[in-house]
Homo-oligomer: A and B are copies of this chain.
Amino acid sequence: MNGVRASMSNKAIIPVILSGGGGTRLWPMSRPECPKQFLALTGDDTMFQMTLARTLDPRHFAAPIIVANAAHVETVDAQLRGISATLLLEPCARNTAPAIALAALAAHDPASPLLVMPSDHVILDTPAFHAAIMAALPLVEQGWLATFGIAPTGPETGYGYIQAGAEIGDGVHKVERFVEKPDAVRAAEMIAGGDFAWNGGIFLFRADLYLGALATFAPDILAATQVAMDGARREGNRIYPDEAAFAASPSDSIDYAVMEKSPRVAVVPVAMGWSDVGSWDALFEIGGGEGVHTLTIDTVNSLIRSDGIRIHTVGVSDMIIVASGNDILIVPRGKSQDVKKIVEALNDSRRA
């Protein structure tokens, strides 16, 4: 990114890493006490650590703000491995719009660009990601709210889509419209059209202008998070927003609350080897095949992972087998979305 920077403002980008998710789609490895972002699924580092590592270059990025569930503070602290960061610790989950509001209110310089990233996505091509950020930055300085549109690799029905309109900068388009998760026919039509991208939940905008957009489109969220931050308790780099005030905020996503409503939203289409690793099938697709604690014979096209239980297979094909703690999940490939049926049944039996 050398040389590009000279033409821009001097404000470093503040990475905002959203670590509030407690997803169960990678059960039994992801659990409420240790969700996906804190697992080393694709290498030695966790998804959270790999997200951090993408925005460490001090020539471009300021110290990050981590917005996390307060219950995970020790995990976050340990996984930071000494990296300076501000920890914004949510007392409860209120979805992304309030979480990002906390970060915007915590930014030292209100005009700083915030790069908002989920903590549990894979991006294989970091230079492409950086180039997209740099492409968006001049328009962000001018007041646009930017989103990154993931170049689709197939007619997925599990993502929202973004239609790119007129080009307003080099590789940057005005958003024509957002489309909710489509059915298969609609997804195929959009892919064929060529001007749609997936909504990957990665954003770049100035902190003050995000707050301004909230004031216009979601004033209750702004009011609640402002009170929560005014009453926050601070301990070193840890900020604990006031619980009652934050709990009073509407729970809404940034997409619904702001992006789909604002007239000044830009999209940067980018192919960067992205995956949200939203299922065991997705992990298999990006090559997270076989781990330790396994002995496999005549076993093909399968994802086999364990953190302790010794898994032994023979003659197995196209299966997903994942062990964690004292639990093991066994499901055919292509069916890993059904893990939610298991999690629901377990929750039902605990309530019963």
Q: Are B338 and A310 in contact (CB-based, < 8 A)?
A: no
Q: CB distance B314 to A326 under 8 Å? A: no
B328–A315 touching, CB < 8 Å = no
| Binary flags per residue of A79-90, CB closer than 8 Å to B gives 1, else 0 | 000000000000
- Cα A342 to Cα B310 in complex, Å, equals 12
The one of B312, B313, B326, B341 in contact with A308, judged by C-beta atoms closer than 8 angstroms, is: B326
The CA-CA distance from A318 to B247 in the complex, in Å, is 49
**A28–B316 touching, CB < 8 Å:** no
How many copies of the shown chain assemble into the complex?
2
Q: Tell me if B328 and A297 are in contact (CB < 8 A).
A: no
Closest to A311 in B: B328
Q: How far is the CA of A332 from the CA of B345 in the complex (A)?
A: 25
Interface 1/0 per residue, A3-29 and B, CB below 8 Å: 000000000000000000000000010
Kindly state whether residue A197 has any CB partner on chain B within 8 Å.
no
- B321 x A330 contact (CB < 8 A): yes
Number of interface residues of A (CB under 8 A): 31
B314 touches A339 (CB 8 A): yes
Query: Could you tell me the distance between the alpha carbons of A331 and B313 in the complex, rounded to whole angstroms?
Result: 6
From A27, which residue of chain B is reached at the shortest CB distance?
Answer: B312
* Residue A133 interfacial (CB < 8 Å): no
* Smallest CB separation, A351 vs chain B (Å): 15
Q: Is B295 a contact of A315 with CB atoms below 8 Å?
A: no
CB distance from A204 to the nearest CB of B (A): 39
- With a CB–CB cut-off of 8 A, which chain B residues contact A311? 328, 330
Do B313 and A330 touch across chains, with their CB atoms under 8 A apart? yes
Q: A309 near B: Cβ within 8 Å?
A: yes
Q: Which residues of B contact A316 (CB under 8 A)?
A: 330-332
Asked if residues A312 and B327 are in contact (CB atoms below 8 Å), the reply is yes
CA of A342 to CA of B330, assembled, Å: 19
Q: Mark A266-310, 1 if CB is under 8 A from B, else 0.
A: 000000000000000000000000000001011000000000111
Could you give, for residues 316-352 of chain A, a 1 whenever the CB lies within 8 Å of some chain B CB and a 0 otherwise?
A: 1001010100111111100100110110011001000
Closest B residue, CB atoms, query A325: B310
Q: A326-B309, A328-B328 are in contact. Are A315 and B297 (CB under 8 A)?
A: no
A interface residues (Cβ-Cβ under 8 A, vs B) = 28, 295, 297-298, 308-316, 319, 321, 323, 326-332, 335, 338-339, 341-342, 345-346, 349
